[in-house]
């Protein structure tokens, strides 16, 4: 899944004005009749609920709208350039990269159909009909079309979800997601089966709940190791963090501490989100043998604690009910912390 791209967008160039003179029978001095050039097209970005990631933008570095056409005789206006629309998933944050390298927030596209203007097209040039005066009655001058705006744009996707499953490789995240939702992720007995966030849906009595399975984290994920770093940003959009632990791990208590540490090193405010701790694979004989010791390790755990088997379904119904209850109680949850909007002035020269 492509979660962040940087592209160059350019509005269309305005068409040139025309130098033309009126020619008609019995009208020997018809005068200038050159039309104005058409304006260049604009570039928009639109949130599309049918899009899941930024993969369609992969490999493309430049986006340009259509140019306006030249004006015609008889003061005909040139055709306007075609607008360009870039479709992105809901949850995409749009930044403009300034000349100093700073990222200036333009929009947070959270609703379907929401759109933002990225680059305006240039104005068309004036035809010579505008330059006629009492002194200059036969002007042979027309205006050139203005170039369109050019912007460096950064698109960053942060998937919104109700519940985010976080754990180490092979902790059973995909199995749990398949058990509690209608998702069908790839499941195998080797690590890093999940290589991108996977969305699932839990059917509730009042509404559906969206669940995200994150790729397995490793130590140092916040610093670019493993598969987690590129996708940790999606955890910022979730309302509830579900830490899934492998019950057969000999360091299960330290595993939870390490997971929390990775999230804190990425963004400290993630630890302020509601959370649930889940010990998985309790149906295995070796886990049942050490279950009393595991319970003792988590005796002081303040978060809701569940012992489940994602493979057999043991304890999963109780876990799902409690998770949905917490999400409902939190309402809209913690909103993403966005940088303050910066008002940008783009003065134009007087004509």
Q: Is the same domain home to 228 and 281?
A: yes
Q: 300-338: per-residue pLDDT in tens?
A: 888 999 999 999 999 999 999 999 999 988 765 444 333
pLDDT of residue 182: 65
Model pLDDT for residues 91-112, shown as the tens digit of each residue: 889 999 988 888 899 998 888 8
Boundary (domain end) residue, out of 157, 176, 192:
157
How many folded domains does the chain comprise? 2
Q: Does 310 map to a domain?
A: yes
Count how many residues are written for the chain.
Answer: 351
Look at residues 157, 191, 209 and tell me which one is the last residue of a structural domain.
Answer: 157
Is 288 domain-assigned? yes
Task: Say if CB 316 and CB 308 are below 8 A apart.
Answer: yes
Count of other CB atoms within 10 angstroms of residue 199: 17
CA gap 259, 230 in Å, rounded: 16
Write down the H helix ranges in the chain: 173-180, 252-266, 285-289, 291-297, 316-330
Given a contact cutoff of 8 angstroms between Cβ atoms, the answer to whether 99 and 45 are in contact is: no
* 324/202 Cα distance (integer angstroms): 9
* The pLDDT of residue 347 is above 60: no
82 vs 27, more confident: 82
Q: Is the entire prediction scored with pTM above 0.75?
A: no
Q: Which domain holds residue 12?
A: 1-157
Q: Which CATH number characterizes residue 44's domain?
A: 2.70.210.12
- The reply to whether 127 falls in a domain is yes
Say which range, 165-174, 214-223, 239-248, 289-298, has the weakest mean pLDDT. Answer: 214-223
Q: Write out the H or E segment, with its range, that includes residue 170.
A: none
Residue 324 lies in a domain: yes
37 and 130 share one domain: yes
38 and 170 co-located in one domain: no
């Amino acid at each position: 899944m492509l979660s962040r791209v940087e592209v160059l967008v350019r509005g269309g160039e305005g068409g040139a004005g025309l130098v033309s003179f009126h020619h008609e029978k019995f009208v020997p001095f018809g005068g200038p009749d050159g039309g104005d050039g058409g304006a260049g097209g604009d570039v928009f970005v639109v949130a599309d609920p049918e899009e899941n990631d930024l993969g369609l933008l992969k490999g493309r570095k430049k986006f340009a709208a259509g140019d306006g056409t030249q004006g015609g005789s008889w003061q005909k206006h040139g055709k306007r350039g075609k607008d360009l629309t870039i479709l992105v998933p809901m949850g995409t944050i749009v930044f403009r990269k300034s000349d100093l390298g700073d990222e200036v927030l333009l929009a947070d596209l959270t609703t379907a159909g929401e759109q933002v203007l990225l680059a305006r097209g240039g104005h068309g040039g004036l035809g010579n009909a505008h330059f006629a005066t009492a002194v200059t009655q036969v002007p042979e001058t027309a205006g050139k079309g203005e170039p369109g705006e050019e912007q460096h744009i950064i698109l960053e996707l942060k998937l919104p979800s109700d519940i985010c499953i976080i754990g180490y490789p092979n902790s059973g995240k995909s199995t749990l997601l398949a058990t509690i939702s209608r998702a069908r992720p790839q499941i195998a007995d080797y690590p890093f089966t999940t290589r991108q966030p996977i969305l699932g849906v839990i059917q509730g009595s009042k509404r559906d709940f969206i669940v995200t399975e994150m790729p397995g984290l490793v130590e140092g994920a916040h610093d670019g190791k493993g598969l987690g770093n590129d996708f940790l940003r999606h955890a910022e959009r979730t309302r509830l963090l579900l830490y899934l632990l492998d019950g057969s791990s000999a360091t299960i208590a330290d595993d939870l501490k390490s997971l929390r540490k990775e999230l804190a090193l990425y963004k400290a405010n993630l630890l302020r989100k509601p959370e649930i701790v889940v010990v998985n694979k309790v149906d295995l004989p070796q886990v049942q043998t050490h279950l009393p010791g595991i319970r003792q390790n988590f005796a002081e755990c303040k978060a809701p604690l569940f012992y489940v088997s994602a493979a057999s379904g043991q304890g999963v119904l109780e876990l799902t009910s409690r998770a949905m209850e917490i999400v409902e109680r939190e309402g809209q949850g913690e909103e993403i912390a966005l940088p303050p909007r910066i008002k940008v002035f783009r003065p134009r020269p007087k004509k």
